[in-house]
Amino acid sequence: MAEKNGKTALVTGAVQGIGKAIALRLAGEGYNIALNCRNKARAESAGKAVAEECRAFGVEAECFVCDVSDFEACGEMVKAVTARFGSLDVLVNNAGVTKDGLLARMSEEQFDSVITTNLKSVFNLMRHASGVMIRQRGGRIINISSVAGLYGNPGQANYSAAKAGIVGITLSAAKELGARGITVNAIAPGFIETAMTEALPDKVRDAAKEAIAVKRFGKPEEIGAAVAFLASGDAGFITGQVLVVDGGMTM
């Protein structure tokens, strides 16, 4: 059982993969957990299951249904989270989608959908959550970017643009909110063992591992550990940084 710290963390896209690992790690650190899921049916199944896993650490947890690309809906979710738990101390913007395709063939819908879900959602939630954190005189915002946003990736012009945008908004927000006791940082994962990377052909996976210094893909739990550090008191003097967690792939 974790020792409760009385703080609350909101994690978007939290019912599978990296988001789930982040939620469970923060629960293990004693945070009450507000999980986010866009789909009501998924929230009723996977969301409830992850909430139960979080509660096993002795903390409170609940799943909130919200399309994070919707500005007004994000405001309502932040209100609901603070009403339920009494505070909002850590925001982890993890939700994201991919709709890959070569630039010459990418549709406007493919581009707009990824930008809206992956980047606008970060603005939406930082805009609403920062007000709560300012009134509380402190907080942590951690945005999940990607190495694709730092170096680009063929077939992912939309995804890379969104993830690069996350870096930019992180840096700007860090400068604006630092004096209010709020740190804002980003994490840029490399190849992580998720359903997305498991679907890659073996040849692609093998080639990717060869490009990684440690010769393996990362684990979702390793991203969770990075988030837990940036959310902790030990990281109080760290803001406006992009922590690359990629096993040495891009060094």
Question: Catalytic residues, which ones?
Answer: 159
d(C-alpha 93, C-alpha 119), whole Å? 9
Which residue is listed with tokens 């500005």? 71
DSSP state of 192: B
Q: What is the spatial distance between Cα 169 and Cα 11, in angstroms, rounded to a whole number?
A: 18
Kindly tell me the sign of the dihedral angle through the C-alpha atoms of 150, 155, 158, 159.
Answer: negative
Contact call for residues 147 and 208 (beta carbons, < 8 A): no
Cα atoms found within 13 Å of the Cα of residue 168, Cβ hemisphere only:
9
- Return the bridge partners of 141, or none: 91, 184
CA–CA distance, 57 with 5 (Å, rounded to integer): 12
Nearest-angstrom CA–CA distance, 66 and 60: 19
Helix or strand holding residue 74 (H, E): helix 71-85
